[in-house]
Structure 1
Amino acid sequence: RAPKTWSYLGKHGEVLDSRKSSIYQKRPRFSVFGVGPYSFAPWKVAISGLYKSFRFVVVPPIDNRPVMVDDTCYAIPCQTQHEAVLLQQLLNSKPTQEFLKSLVFIDSKRPITVDVLKRISFTEVARRLGKRAELLAIAKQGHIRTGKDYQLPLVMESSSLYE
């Protein structure tokens, strides 16, 4: 089904086999982690779990194809550029940054975790920044929602808030 991928994996098999992380032990030789429907969203807002700063970036499609982030990153799937830019603005805002600084142990191996990120309330941040109506307009289009189909369900409010 994917001869180029299989050829690449075979060519680099020794390097891949030498990875020391325990996540690869007792797994199939060429395991892929963190892939689901959210991976194929055209736009994403991403952050590295390993960085010591809280800088969220918009990840646009390249050649009309979604970009995949690796398993050390957290990504919010977005359907439009407007949605991605709005979420990036909310996440990089002063209220969110101060909130994250109050929760994160910066000396940790992986300072940014999904548990920390799940505590962010887009609705509250948008309200503080005067962007609640804009957020709700996007939500009504069905682009922002809660649910298990997101790798990183950052919107923790009940979907009834958007109706």
Structure 2
Amino acid sequence: MHAREPLHGASGSAYVTIDGNRYLWMQLIDFEATFDKKKTEVGRLGSKQAGNRSGYGVGKFKAKAYYNTDIFRDVIMEYIKRGRDIYFDIQITNDDPNSTAGRHTTIFKDCNLDGLVLAKLDVNKETLEEDISGTFDDVEMPEKFNVLEGMR
């Protein structure tokens, strides 16, 4: 692999769409989404080892962001005050012009927050940050990485 191929972590963008309003999530420090498959152990006749059968799965995300926007607090406040649980989409794009891997975009659909910090102070911090986590119910990948030279 050429040294230019690993992606620079800050080369990309993040957008959040809440109630039809699209926001550039420029406060984002890091983001990671995972999909955990739930499996059932299956006994097999003639074998001492159980097999594993995939069933449903759970999509989760976690992020760290600078504490300087209330777009997600508005979502939580709507739930607290009116009982309305708001679902939203997150679009993450990796785009490092130095890598031949190209652009990679993933859209996480029907995201739902686990919870959120409502207020924060810390006299020992120069910048305030917050952890954000939640789940997603669907995912799309409209842009995929290129196959790098030497992979085939």
- TM-score interval, normalised by the smaller of the two chains: under 0.3
Higher relative contact order (CA 8 A, sep 6+): 2
More strand by share: 2
**TM-score, normalized by length of structure 1?**
0.25
Query: Highest CA radius of gyration, 1 or 2?
Result: 2
More helix by share: 1
